[in-house]
C-alpha cells in the first residue's frame, strides 16, 4: 500500500507551512485574556481571513486553530465540554478556505501541550493526559485533517505520550515538534538527537523544533542535529526573534527578508517542513515561499520528481471524418473495444482557482485514469461551472473529461445552448442528470428550472447526435456526444429504479455510471430485476466506488448523504478498523473492485474521492496492476 499523500509530497520536495495565528489575532484586537480557540465559533470570519492570507502567501500546509483546544486547557475558561465543537469547526474552516483559495494545501490538525505538568511533577495523571489527547485527536481525524502537528511541547515525556496516543487513534502522518532553548537543549536538558530518536520510536513520521527562539538559534540547533544524524528530515518553525513589549503589545524584530535569507540554510541542514511560529505573518511566509522556490529551481531533481518528469500533455482534439461528421470520443472507442475503463471524480471548487482539482486530475492520469468526471454543483452548492473546469483539465492535463450536466438550472433553450458550447470547447462526454434541488444547498432562495428531467435530457442529446435540435432544425453535422446516465442499485424500490433507468438508456445512452456501492450483490440484484422486466442489459457499466475514511465518515455518508447507502457489513467492518480506517477503506474498495470486475456488463470503475483526497482514492487502482 502507498504511503500517505503528505509523506509522498514531503519525500519529493520540502514543504512550507503557515505562520503564527495568535500574533495575527492579537493584531486584530483579540485579548490575551480570552480563549483564542473559541474564536472559531464566535468570530470564524476572522480566523478564516488569516488562513486565507497564509494560503495566498504560498503555504503548502495550514494548521487548524486548535492549539489549545483540549479539555484540560479549555476547562480554565469553562469550555471543557466544547472540545468536539471547537476542533470540528476549526478543521471545517480550513477546508472551506482550501475550497475558496483553490490551492492544494494539506490541513494539519494542530495539537499543543495540555498546559499542566504530568505526575509526579504535576497533578495531571497519565490516564487523564491520554484521555485528553485521544479526545482531541479523534475529532481532528474525523473532521478531515490530513496530518497531525504536535507543536511547542517543552516536556519530551508528554509529547511522546501524545504521539503514542495518536498512533493508537488514527493512521494520519505525525509531525512532533519540541521547543529548544538557546543552548540547543530542551528545558530539562535533552539533546535534539536523543529527543528525535525517542519520538520516532513513539511513532512520529517527522520530528521538529518550533517556538522559543528565532531563526539563528534554531539554525544552530538544527546544524548540531544534522551533524550527528544527516539522514534525518526535520520540521523547523522559529519565532520572529525575541519579542519586545511596547505599550502592552509584543513586537517581533525579525523581518520577512531575514526569514527568507535563513530558508536556504535550514534546507541544506535537513529541514523538509518549514514555517513560522510566534511573530511570523503572511509576509514572512510569502518571503520564505520565494526563497524556497528559488532554492528548488537550482535543484531541479527536487522540483520535478521522476514520476512526473514527462512531456507536456496535449489536450484531446476533435477528430473529424471526411464527411464532416464528428467521430466517437476516445472514451466511447475504449468501451466499444472492451477495455476496462477508469474514471475519477473531481468536484469543482467554490472559488475562482481550480489548482487543487487540476492537480488531482493530473495525478489520476498518472495512475491510469481514462477520464475525469466533473460534477455539476453537487448537493446544489454554488461552485465553478463543471464545463469550465472540464475545459481547464482537458487543456492543462490532457485527459478526457465527463461533464455532469444537470437540468436543474437550465431552461430548454439554455440546455441546448450549453451543449452546443460544450461541443465547441471539445467536451463531448456527457453524464445526463436531473440534479439535486436547490432546497438542499446553500442558496435556498434559488429556484429550479427542470423543464425536463434526465430522461428528457438524454433525448435532447440524442437529437443532437442525429444532427438536429429539439425543434427539428438542422445542426450542420451530427453531434458525436457520448451519453452516460446514472443508476442507483442501492434503492429500496428496485422496480421503480429499473423502469426509470430503462427509459434513460433506451433514449440514446451509451453507458451507465452507478451510485457508489459497497456490496457486489447490489449490482447483481439490480441486473436480475432489469433482465426480468426488460430483457438483456443494454449498455456497459462503470461501477461507483468510494473509499471510506473511517467509521464516522461511513456513518455520515450512510445516514446523511442522499444516494449513498452502505451495507451493515461495510459499516461494521469500518467500526472494527478503528484507527486504521483509511487504509481499511482502501482495502475494502480494492476487494470490491476485483469482485465487480468479473461480473456481467461491468466495464469500468468510477472512483469518488472524499475530502478532495485524490491520491487516496487512486490507491484503489494499485490492485489492478496485479489482477
Tens digits of per-residue pLDDT, 163-175?
Answer: 999 999 999 999 9
Residue 207 has pLDDT above 70, yes or no: yes
Length of the chain: 627
Task: Supply the pLDDT for residue 249.
Answer: 55
Q: Do 288 and 384 sit in the same domain of this protein?
A: no
Which of 405, 414, 408, 418 lies closest to 449 in space, CA to CA? 408
**Could you tell me if residue 394 is inside a domain?**
yes
For residue 436, give its domain range.
Answer: 330-626
Task: Supply the pLDDT for residue 85.
Answer: 97
Per-residue confidence band for 511, with pLDDT thresholds at 50, 70 and 90: very high
Cα 361 from Cα 379, distance rounded (Å): 21
Task: Supply the pLDDT for residue 383.
Answer: 85
Which of 538, 526, 533, 529 lies closest to 596 in space, CA to CA? 526
**CATH (domain of 87):** 3.20.20.330
Q: Do 82 and 199 sit in the same domain of this protein?
A: yes
For the segment 501-529, the average pLDDT, to the nearest whole number, is 92
Distance of CA 584 to the CA centre of its chain: 18
For the chain, give the longest Cα–Cα distance: 87
Q: Do 381 and 528 sit in the same domain of this protein?
A: yes
Task: Supply the pLDDT for residue 244.
Answer: 63
Q: Do 279 and 356 sit in the same domain of this protein?
A: no
Cα 10 from Cα 324, distance rounded (Å): 50
First to last CA, the chain: 15
Task: Supply the pLDDT for residue 435.
Answer: 80
Q: Do 469 and 609 sit in the same domain of this protein?
A: yes
**Could you tell me if residue 320 is inside a domain?**
no
**Could you tell me if residue 315 is inside a domain?**
no
**Could you tell me if residue 312 is inside a domain?**
no
Output the CA angle 495-598-361, nearest 5 degrees.
Answer: 90
Question: To the nearest 10°, the Cα dihedral for 292, 351, 66, 108?
Answer: -40
Residue 117 has pLDDT above 50, yes or no: yes
- Dump pLDDT digits (tens) for 435-453: 877 654 455 566 677 888 8
Residue 141 has pLDDT above 60, yes or no: yes
Number of structural domains (the chain) is 2
Question: Which residues is 107 bridged to in the sheet?
Answer: 62
Q: Do 103 and 17 sit in the same domain of this protein?
A: yes
Residue 232: which residues within 8 A CB-CB, separation 6 or more? Answer: 196, 207, 225, 226, 270
Q: Do 11 and 119 sit in the same domain of this protein?
A: yes
pLDDT above 90 coverage of the chain, percent? 64
Q: Do 437 and 492 sit in the same domain of this protein?
A: yes
**CATH (domain of 587):** 3.20.20.220
For the segment 408-427, the average pLDDT, to the nearest whole number, is 91
Task: Supply the pLDDT for residue 306.
Answer: 34
Phi, psi (5° rounding) for residue 423? Answer: -60, -45
**Could you tell me if residue 316 is inside a domain?**
no
Q: Buried b / exposed e across 81-113, counting CB within 10 Å, b at 16+?
A: ebbeebbbbbbbbbbbbbbbbbbbbbbbbbbbb
Per-residue confidence band for 562, with pLDDT thresholds at 50, 70 and 90: low
Q: Are strands 429-433 and 482-487 parallel, antiparallel or unpaired?
A: parallel
Q: Do 369 and 514 sit in the same domain of this protein?
A: yes
Q: Do 556 and 618 sit in the same domain of this protein?
A: yes
Residue 105 has pLDDT above 90, yes or no: yes
Q: Do 283 and 407 sit in the same domain of this protein?
A: no
User: Can you say whether the dihedral through the CA atoms of 263, 265, 268, 274 is positive or negative?
Assistant: negative
Q: Do 267 and 351 sit in the same domain of this protein?
A: no
Residue 264 has pLDDT above 90, yes or no: yes
Phi, psi (5° rounding) for residue 175? Answer: -110, 125
Which of 50-59, 184-193, 366-375, 553-562 has the least mean pLDDT? Answer: 553-562
Amino acid at each position: 500500500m502507498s504511503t500517505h499523500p503528505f509523506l509522498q509530497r514531503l519525500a519529493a520536495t520540502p514543504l512550507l507551512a503557515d505562520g503564527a495565528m495568535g500574533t495575527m489575532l492579537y493584531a486584530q484586537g483579540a485579548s490575551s485574556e480570552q480563549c483564542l480557540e473559541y474564536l472559531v465559533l464566535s468570530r470564524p470570519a476572522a480566523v478564516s481571513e488569516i488562513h486565507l492570507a497564509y494560503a495566498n502567501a504560498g503555504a503548502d500546509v495550514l494548521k487548524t486553530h486548535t492549539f489549545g483546544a483540549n479539555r484540560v486547557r479549555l476547562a480554565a475558561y469553562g469550555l471543557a465540554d466544547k472540545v468536539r465543537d471547537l476542533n470540528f469547526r476549526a478543521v471545517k474552516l480550513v477546508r472551506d478556505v482550501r475550497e475558496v483559495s483553490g490551492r492544494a494545501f494539506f490541513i494539519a490538525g494542530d495539537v499543543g501541550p495540555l498546559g499542566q505538568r504530568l505526575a509526579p511533577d504535576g497533578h495531571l495523571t497519565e490516564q487523564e493526559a491520554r484521555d485528553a489527547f485521544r479526545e482531541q485527536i479523534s475529532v481532528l481525524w474525523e473532521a478531515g485533517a490530513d496530518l497531525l502537528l504536535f507543536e511547542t511541547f517543552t516536556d519530551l515525556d508528554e509529547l511522546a505520550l501524545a504521539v503514542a496516543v495518536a498512533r493508537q487513534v488514527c493512521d494520519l502522518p505525525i509531525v512532533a515538534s519540541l521547543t529548544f532553548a538557546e543552548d540547543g537543549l530542551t528545558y530539562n536538558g535533552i539533546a535534539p538527537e536523543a529527543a528525535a530518536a525517542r519520538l520516532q520510536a513513539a511513532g512520529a513520521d517527522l520530528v521538529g523544533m518550533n517556538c522559543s527562539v528565532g531563526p539563528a538559534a534554531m539554525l544552530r540547533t538544527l546544524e548540531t542535529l544534522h551533524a550527528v544524524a544527516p539522514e534525518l528530515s526535520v520540521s523547523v518553525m522559529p519565532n520572529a526573534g525575541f519579542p519586545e513589549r511596547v505599550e502592552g503589545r509584543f513586537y517581533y524584530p525579525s523581518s520577512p527578508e531575514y526569514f527568507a535569507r535563513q530558508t536556504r540554510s535550514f534546507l541544506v541542514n535537513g529541514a523538509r517542513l518549514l514555517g513560522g511560529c510566534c511573530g511570523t505573518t503572511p509576509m514572512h511566509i510569502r518571503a520564505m515561499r520565494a526563497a524556497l522556490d528559488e532554492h528548488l529551481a537550482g535543484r531541479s531533481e527536487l522540483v520535478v520528481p521522476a514520476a512526473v518528469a514527462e512531456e507536456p500533455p496535449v489536450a484531446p482534439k476533435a477528430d473529424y471524418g471526411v464527411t464532416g461528421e464528428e467521430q466517437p470520443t476516445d472514451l466511447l472507442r475504449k468501451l466499444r473495444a472492451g477495455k476496462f475503463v477508469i474514471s475519477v471524480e473531481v468536484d469543482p471548487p467554490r472559488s475562482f482557482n481550480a489548482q487543487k482539482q487540476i492537480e488531482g486530475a493530473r495525478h489520476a492520469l498518472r495512475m491510469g485514469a481514462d477520464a475525469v468526471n466533473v460534477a455539476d454543483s453537487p448537493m446544489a452548492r454554488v461552485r465553478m461551472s463543471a464545463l469550465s473546469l472540464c475545459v481547464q483539465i482537458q487543456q492543462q492535463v490532457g485527459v478526457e473529461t465527463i461533464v455532469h450536466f444537470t437540468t436543474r438550472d437550465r431552461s430548454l433553450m439554455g440546455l441546448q445552448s450549453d451543449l452546443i458550447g460544450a461541443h465547441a470547447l471539445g467536451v463531448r462526454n456527457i453524464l445526463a442528470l436531473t440534479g439535486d434541488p436547490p432546497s438542499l444547498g446553500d442558496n435556498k432562495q434559488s429556484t429550479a428550472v427542470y423543464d425536463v428531467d434526465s430522461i428528457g435530457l438524454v433525448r435532447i442529446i440524442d437529437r443532437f447526435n442525429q444532427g438536429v435540435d429539439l425543434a427539428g432544425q438542422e445542426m450542420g453535422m451530427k453531434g458525436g456526444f457520448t451519453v452516460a446516465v446514472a443508476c442507483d442499485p442501492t434503492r429500496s424500490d428496485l422496480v421503480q429504479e429499473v423502469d426509470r433507468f430503462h427509459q434513460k438508456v433506451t433514449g440514446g445512452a451509451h453507458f451507465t455510471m452507478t451510485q457508489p456501492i459497497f456490496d457486489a450483490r447490489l449490482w447483481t440484484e439490480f441486473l436480475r430485476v432489469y433482465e426480468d422486466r426488460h430483457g438483456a442489459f443494454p449498455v456497459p457499466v462503470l461501477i461507483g466506488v468510494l473509499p471510506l475514511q473511517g467509521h464516522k465518515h461511513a456513518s455520515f455518508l450512510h445516514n446523511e448523504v442522499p444516494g449513498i447507502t452502505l451495507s451493515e457489513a461495510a459499516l461494521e467492518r469500518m467500526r472494527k478498523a478503528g484507527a486504521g480506517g483509511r487504509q481499511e477503506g482502501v482495502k475494502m474498495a480494492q476487494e470490491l473492485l476485483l469482485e465487480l470486475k468479473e461480473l456481467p456488463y461491468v466495464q469500468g470503475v468510477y472512483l469518488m474521492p472524499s475530502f478532495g483526497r485524490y491520491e487516496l482514492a487512486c490507491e484503489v487502482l494499485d490492485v489492478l496492476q496485479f489482477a
